[in-house]
Structures are given as structure tokens and as C-alpha cells.
Structure 1
Amino acid sequence: MNRTLATLAGLIIGIAAGALTIARGWPATDALAAANLVGTLWLDALRMTVLPLVVTLTATGTARAIAAASGGAVIRRAALLGLFLLVVSAAVAMLLGPPLLSAWAPDPASLAALRGAGTPVPGHFAGSGDALLGLVSPNLVAAAAEGAIPPLAIFALLFGVAAARLPPERTRTILDALAQAAEIILVIVGWVLALAPIGVAALGFALGARLGLGAGSALASYVGTQITVTVVLGVAMYALAALAGRVPVVSFARAALEPQAVAASTQSSLAALPAMLAAAGRLAPAGSASAPAAILPLAVALFRLAAPASIVIVTLATAHLTGAHLTPATLATVGGLSILGTLIIAGLPNQTTFFAAYAPALLAANLPIDLLPLFLAVDVIPDIFYTVTNVTADLSVAATSARSERR
């Protein structure tokens, strides 16, 4: 939390300094060159971890999700419901994101500056044919060299599915090796993130110099959009519990209050798990008390309802700020990668896996990832809402699945 607050402070100071420098007409050429150098070096250090993290986490996450979902009928129903809700999360963000983000319209000069600042990955998704062809690569080494995430993610997904079909002892050996590689990469990510206040301050200075104080308005619009979409998803979970789980809204709201309070104060779904288990036990019908104990750990680990929507909103916000147009085929790819990104960061801290989860969607849409550190810095605010909504969704899935066990 201290590092997160320091990163947020660095962003605010950087944007303010950049905007003030331009507003006062102070010499900015050398300062901008230095800020761009520092910011780019730091950003490139994070970029180099994205591909290996995506491959290792996707393969291990897929195999473990398959293994977890094979634990019985009630677990499979909960897993299918959770996966369906992740699809809904991405769809809701695609529906609500554009009108909410359009409340702040950057001026043409700012758009031109941001377009020139980004470093998009080669390739495009101009139509459905290009999008489909981009999902499979005959040369994975070339795809990695070009930063083409979708074919690498699909290969890792298939690798994980195939690994899960091997004898259990061989599966464990393969997954342990990949997990250890991922842990090593995450250590490197931690080193880079230790310098986040400096890197983000440099990027913020460059952004403030281009957009002035309008950069703050842009980030405020992003934060407001994330919170609004997340709250809509959270409220929908009450309806799910009432309609599919046949749990009265008042009873569900009363049971969810304590886990939600823990989630809001700790910003950790795992920390709220004991309170969720107690709440789900009270909501479960007679004879189904054991179901929540089996469902909730899986739900907490794999199904973060707010995550697909958050990834989609980041992509839409980047497109809005840079004046890019996303085709339906590109949006479909972004939606799929947002769900995959949610599954691969299962059980890991958001800050350390932010780039692995969020960058693939941006890269697939041919958008620059330069703004990702700035979004990460301000995510300390909507992260409270993410966690509360995730906990509410986990409880709703547990209550609904436990009810279906009795039918």
C-alpha cells in the first residue's frame, strides 16, 4: 500500500510539474527529453516481462482451473456460472464504457500529441478476417518478436489444456517448472515496480506537458467509468442471488455486509474468505452447508468479476485518449483476452500482474501501453470497488450453486 500511494503521489507530482512547466512557458526541452528517457526505460523494463508472464501464467492457470473444475458436479456448475459472469462483465464494460468515457473529450492537439507518444505493436485487426488470422501464428518465435500476444496466449492455453490431460504426476512436474519460472519473473517485476514512483512521475510529467491539467480530467474520467461499471456489476449480483439462488435480497445483503466490509478495508478477496464462508453457510439451504466451502476458494482464486470489465475499460480509455477506433472484431478479441487475463492472474496481487493481465488486450488492439502505469497509479481508488464487487459475486455464485445442488 505504501508503494501504491507513493506511485499515486509520483503521478500527481509529475502531471502537475509538466502542466505548470508548459503553462508558465519555462524551458521544457531538456526536462521533457529526460522524462521521456526515464519513463521509457522504466516502461521497457516492464514490457520485457509481459510475454514470459503471459505464457507461463496462462499455461499453469488453465491446467489448474481444469483440475479444480473436475472436483464434482457442484464445482463444475459453479465454474460454468463463474465463467459466464466473466463474459457478462466484459460485455457490460463494452456497452457502458464508451458513453461514460465520452463525457471527457480531449482536444485535437492533445490527441495528436498522444498518438505520437505511443508505441503500438506492429500489425492490425482491421476486419474479422485479419482478427481470425491473427489468433494463430505458424511461427511463435516470430510472434513473440513482434509482440503478438493472441497467438502466444492461445498456444499457452492449449498447452495448459494438454498438460491437464497427462498423468497427474507428470502434470505436476510440468506445472511446477512453469510456476517456478513465473515466480522468478514476478521477482523481476517486483524490482521494476519498486521504481514505479520515479517511472510514473516521469511519464506523468510528459503527459502533463502534452495535456496540461486536462490529464487529471482524463484520469478522473477513467476512474469514474471504472467505478460506475463495477458498481453496476455488483448490484447485478444481488439480482442473481435472488432470481437464480432464490435468496431474498434483504437476507443476501445482510449476509454480504461483513465480507464486503473486510474487502473494502483490506482490498483483498482472500482476506475476506473466512467471512464469506460464514456468510455463505448462513445463506445455504439445509443439507447444502458443505457446498460453499468447496465453491468459495475456487471462486476467490479464479473468478474476479470486476477484472474483465476493468481490462476492457482500460483498452477503451486508451483508444479514446489516442483517438483510435476499435472494430467489432478487435473488441471481441479484447473481450476474450480480458477473460483470459482474469484467469491467469488468479491468486496473485493485482499490482505485480497488472501488465500481464492488461497489456495483452492493448497489444492485440494495436494500442500503446504507455498509459498503463498511469492507470495503475490511480487504480488505488477503484480497487476498493473491484474487491467489494468480487466478494459479492463470489457469495452470489456460492449461494446460487448451493441452491442448485438441492434441486
Structure 2
Amino acid sequence: MTLPNPEKSSNVLPPIAQVPAMWTFIGLVGGLLGGLAIAFLVPQALPIVQTWVQPIGEMWLRALQATIVPLVAALLFTGVTQTVAMASAGAMARRSLGMFLAFLAFSAGMAIVVTPLLLSLFPVPAEAGAALRISLGTTEAGPVPGVAEFLRSIVPTNVINAAANDRMLPLILFISVFALAVGRLAGPQREVMTTFFAALASAMLVVIGWVLALAPIGVFALSMAVAATSGTAAIGALAHYVGIVVLTGSVVLVAGYVFAVAIARQPLGAFARAMLPVQTIALSTQSSLASLPAMLGACRDLGVRETTSEFVMPLAVALFRATSPAMNLAVAIYVAHLYDVTLSPMVLISAWTVAILVSLSSVSLPGSISFVASVGPIAIAMNAPVAPLALLVAVEVLPDLMRTLGNVTMDVAVTAAVDRKAAQSA
């Protein structure tokens, strides 16, 4: 059984897709400053912005939205097949995957509780929320489904129709079951299907790479239109959003320490000291992959056997994104709250399921692509608009720091826990 190679999978994208996130952030800042100048200095130029600048941003947004369904379908198929393959690698792999999935479920469930609580304690500034809704366009929420209707909707009568109408939960569940079925086929047939979806995923990554290469322009146009219409209120909304998402992610970071102490039985002080160099590298690189050597060193300092760390850690880097369900759900819940979308228990269950499943498809992707591929389906499952994501991706460089911190902390904690369980069963 061959383990996933994080270094190999991280090079899927061509150079054109590797647009630094800072350029997108600069596009956001430039657009906001330009829009503010128009709003306060030359308000008579607003119709020109709405006629010529805003459509450019909307065209880029539409191109971004067009990639979500095929990209998620292809990546989810490959993610499920890779997970199933890992599960067949032996007891340690199954134990690792079990812990991964259990924590992903906790991560998603925590966000459903914590994010609305944070929004009630620190509400979205009314003026800022209204300004963003006006600038980005309103959405009309559909009827809230009852329990019976929700259960019926899980199994699509026509999966193509489900994809065409952005019904993400039935589509994702169908793809997951389909991937499991392909795993039962004979070798040559299985390889054909696996190769096809891997090629589809690679092609879609190239397409979204091209779209995201234009992100500085698209974000500049959208942010200029927003700022020209709403003034400084848009900046307040973005700052408030970053704070809510980072606070939600910080719960995952704290949970990593709790997991290390309660499950891995590591002394809190020793674990915290071992994590300091790892977290320093994580903050400077914003990459779990780049932090891998430091994480292996932390495992040695904690007394984790090398046979365990050298097996589990690459698996964790390739498959496990501890903060993804929590922070992706936080983004979607924030957008839904911003647009007054009703989040019924059934809708939240749907979003919880989607958040866990799509986290498997965010393997070794640059932050901007992971953001679109992971948050888009959750927002769609909530019946929340996707348009705000085009602006929020520009400030993802800030929450991404918390994502990386939480991920590397949980990677080491889970590896130590797997080693302890393996030692007990030996």
C-alpha cells in the first residue's frame, strides 16, 4: 500500500495558479480605497463604476461559481477513494482515519454551536451588513424544508438535475457512494474510473487556477463597487467577519491541546513546548506541508515512536484538515446570518454533513482554491449566497494563519494519540 505523497500532491497546479494571496489582498485594498475615494470625493462617478467596473467583478464571480460543482465532485471522488485505500493499509491506518473523522465531526458540530453564539455576542454591524447586501445583491431564501421533505431530498431521483440546481447534499452523497462502489470493481475498471476522475480534478484545478489568476482584478472590481456604494461600512463588515472566523478557529486550536492531554496523555507543558517551533514555522509559511519536518521533530520530543510518526504524520498532512469543517462552516454561517437565511435543524444537519465530506477534497490545495471548493458547497447547502465569497477570499490570508496553527497542532496531537493506542494494543 502506497501512502499519499504530500509533496507530489502539492504540485498539481501549474505555475499560473500560484498567484500569491497577497496580490488578491492588495487588489481588495486598492478597490476599497478607490471606492471610498469615489464615494466621498466624486460620488457622481458611481454610475460609471456600476456600469463598467462592477460587471467585470461579476463576470469573474460567475466564472468562479461555475467551477464549484465539477471541482467538488472530482475532488470528492478522489478523496473518498484515497481514504478507502488508506483504510485498507492496516490497523494503524484505520485507527488514524477513525480519529481524523471523529475530530472532523466534532469540528463541524462545534462551529454550528460556537459561530451563532459569537454572532449573538458580537452582532454584525447593522450598517455594514446592509451595505454589503445592497452592494453584492440580495438573495431570496427558499422555503425551509420539513423533516420528511429533507429526508426525501437526500436521495436524488436525477443526480444531473441535483447538480444543475446546486443541491449539494444529495450530489455529494451520491458521489461518495459512487466512489465506494468503484472501489469494489475489478482492477482494470477501477483504474479507468480513478484515472478519469483524477484527470477531471486536475483539469478543473487548471481552470480554477486560471480564474484565480485573475482574482486581483476581479476582487478589485467587486471591492471598488462595494466601497463606492457603501463607504466605510464594507471595511467594518470585513473586519468583523475576520474576527468571528478566527475566534471559531481558535476553539479548534485549544481543542488540540485538550486532545493531546486527554487522549494522547501528553503533559500539557511538554506538548506546548514541543509545539512552539512547529507553530512558528506554520505562521511563517502558512503551510502544513512545510511544517512537516518540524512536526516530526515535535513527535520525537514527545516520545512518539518513529514508526508511528513517519506513518501517521504524512497521512495527516495529506488527508486531515482539523480546522476546515469549523472555519468553513463559520464562513457559511456568517454569510447566511448576513442575509437573514433561516438555518433550521435540517439545514444545519445538511451543512454539517457537507462540511465533513468536502474537507476530504481539500487535500494539499492552495488556500484560495480550498476556500472556494470547501465553503461554496456548504453555503449552497444552506441556501446562502455564494457572491460574498468572492470578497471574503481576499481576506482569507488572515484566517488562514489560524487554520494552519490549528491543523499542525491537531496533526501532532492525533499522531501522539495513535501511538499511544498502538502501544496499548501491542
TM-score normalised to structure 1 length: 0.93
**2:279 is aligned with 1:263:** no
TM alignment of 1:7-406, pairs within 5 A = 7-24=24-41, 25-102=43-120, 103-107=122-126, 111=130, 114=133, 117-118=136-137, 124-284=143-303, 288-406=305-423
Deviation at 1:137, TM superposition (A): 1.5
Kindly state the Cα deviation for residue 165 of structure 1 after the two structures are TM-superposed.
2.2
SS of 1:54 mapped into structure 2: helix
Stretch moving more, 194-203 or 109-118: 109-118
Counterparts of 1:363 and 1:332, CA distance in 2: 13
CA distance in 2, matches of 1:277, 1:253: 15
Aligned-pair CA distance for 1:121: 8.8
Cα distance change of structure 1 residues 119 and 176 upon mapping to structure 2, 3 Å threshold? farther
What is the DSSP-based 3-state SS (H/G/I as helix, E as strand, rest coil) of the residue aligned with 2:341? coil
Residues 176-185 or 138-147, more deviating: 138-147
- Give the whole-Å Cα distance in 1 for the aligned partners of 2:135 and 2:210: 29
How many angstroms apart in 1 are the aligned matches of 2:185 and 2:140? 36
- The aligned length equals 405
AA in 2 matched with 1:266: T
After superposition, the Cα gap between the structure-2 partners of 1:152 and 1:347, relative to the gap in structure 1 and judged at 3 Å, is: same
Equivalent residue letter for 1:291 = T
- When residues 243 and 300 of structure 1 are mapped into structure 2, their CA distance, relative to the original with a 3 A threshold, is same
Give the Cα–Cα distance (whole angstroms) in 2 for the partners of residues 380 and 242 of structure 1.
30
Among all aligned residue pairs of Structure 1 and Structure 2, give the percentage whose two residues are the same amino acid: 37
Q: Secondary structure at the match of 1:134?
A: helix
Q: 1:200 to 1:57 in 2, by over 3 A?
A: same
Alpha-carbon distance in 2 for matches of 1:35, 1:147: 28
| Structure 1, unpaired ranges of 5+ | none
**Within 2, Cα distance between the matches of 1:293 and 1:28?**
58
Query: How well do the aligned residues superpose, as a CA RMSD in angstroms?
Result: 2.2
Q: Secondary structure at the match of 2:154?
A: coil
Whole-angstrom CA distance in 2 between matches of 1:113 and 1:262: 36
CA contact 1:82–1:303 (8 Å) conserved in 2: yes
The 1:109–1:303 alpha-carbon spacing in structure 2 relative to 1, beyond 3 Å, is: closer
- 1:133–1:385: structure 2 CA closer, same or farther, 3 Å change rule? same
- Contact 1:11–1:204 at 8 Å: present in 2 too? yes
Specify the alignment match of 2:12 in structure 1: none
1:229/1:34 CA distance change after superposition, 3 Å? same
Contact kept in structure 2, 1:306 and 1:386, CA below 8 Å:
yes
Deviation at 1:156, TM superposition (A): 0.8
Contact 1:115–1:323 (Cα < 8 Å) also in 2: no
Asked whether the 8 Å contact 1:18–1:209 carries over to 2, the reply is yes
Cα contact 1:124–1:130 (8 A) shared by 2: no
Check 1:117–1:263 CA distance in 2 against 1; reply closer, same or farther (3 A cut).
Answer: closer
For 2:38 and 2:64, how far apart are their aligned partners in 1?
28
Q: Deviations over 1:22-54 (max 9, x none)?
A: 344333112112233111110111111111111
Give the direction of change, closer, same or farther, for the CA distance of 1:290–1:366 in structure 2 (3 Å limit). same
Give the deviation of 1:344 after TM superposition.
0.8
Q: CA deviation at 1:283?
A: 2.1
Cα pair 1:53 1:356 within 8 Å, conserved: yes
Q: State the AA in 2 paired with 1:41.
A: M
1:349–1:169 distance in 2 versus 1, CA, 3 Å: farther
Note if contact 1:104-1:218 (Cα within 8 Å) is conserved in structure 2: no
Task: Tell me, in whole angstroms, the C-alpha distance in 2 between the residues paired with 1:121 and 1:136.
Answer: 25
- Judging changes above 3 Å, is the alpha-carbon distance between structure 1 residues 211 and 94 closer, same or farther for their aligned structure 2 residues? farther
Cα 1:4–1:21 shift into 2, 3 Å: same
Q: What is the letter of the counterpart of residue 316 of structure 2?
A: A
Task: Report the Cα offset of residue 110 of structure 1.
Answer: 5.1
Q: Which stretch shifts more, 267-276 or 24-33? A: 24-33
Q: Deviations over 1:213-255 (max 9, x none)?
A: 1111111111111221222211221121111111111111122
Amino acid at match of 1:22: A
Report SS of the residue matched to 1:52. Answer: helix
Secondary structure at the aligned position of 2:45 is classed as coil
Q: What is the deviation of 1:368? A: 1.1
What is the CA deviation profile of residues 74-99 of structure 1, one whole-angstrom value per residue up to 9, with x for unaligned ones? 22111111111111111221222123
